[in-house]
């Protein structure tokens, strides 16, 4: 039996290492030295995926997170935009709680 889609497995704002199974486990291998957060929001057929990494024990409101945003077109499921808060990898200067308001490029 195939694995369910990732959107059925993920729990908003939880560590992926404790959630991903089957074909979706590819996300687990990303940056294992950091705590991870993920959220999927779908509005009017457009899905926005937020992924973030920070040192273990970091508060979600602290500006110590690297945050990525991926926007998918619901009709085609193609990556429409993909960017990091601040525009550069390795910038751990953003909060998880402020993810919707950050500038991405």
> pLDDT (tens digit, 9 = 90+) per residue, 19-32?
333 333 334 446 77
> pLDDT (tens digit, 9 = 90+) per residue, 63-76?
999 999 998 887 77
- Nearest residue to 5 via CA among 18, 24, 19: 24
**Mean pLDDT in order along the chain per 10 residues (105 residues):** 38 42 41 88 88 93 94 75 87 94 93
Structure confidence at residue 75 (pLDDT): 74
Rounded to an integer, what distance in angstroms lies between the CA atom of residue 27 and that of residue 52? 12
Structure confidence at residue 79 (pLDDT): 63
- Residue pair 86/103 in contact by the 8 Å Cβ criterion: yes
3-class secondary structure, 73: strand
Structure confidence at residue 82 (pLDDT): 84
Structure confidence at residue 45 (pLDDT): 82
Structure confidence at residue 78 (pLDDT): 73
pTM: 0.67
């Amino acid at each position: 039996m195939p694995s369910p889609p990732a959107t059925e497995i993920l729990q908003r704002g939880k560590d992926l290492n404790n959630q991903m199974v089957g074909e979706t486990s590819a996300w687990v291998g990303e940056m294992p030295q950091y705590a991870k957060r993920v959220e999927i929001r779908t509005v009017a057929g457009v899905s926005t995926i937020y992924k973030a990494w920070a040192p273990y024990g970091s508060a979600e409101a602290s500006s110590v997170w690297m945050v990525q945003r991926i926007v998918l077109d619901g009709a085609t499921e193609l990556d429409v935009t993909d960017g990091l808060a601040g525009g550069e990898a390795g910038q751990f200067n953003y909060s998880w709680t402020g993810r919707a308001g950050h500038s991405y490029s």
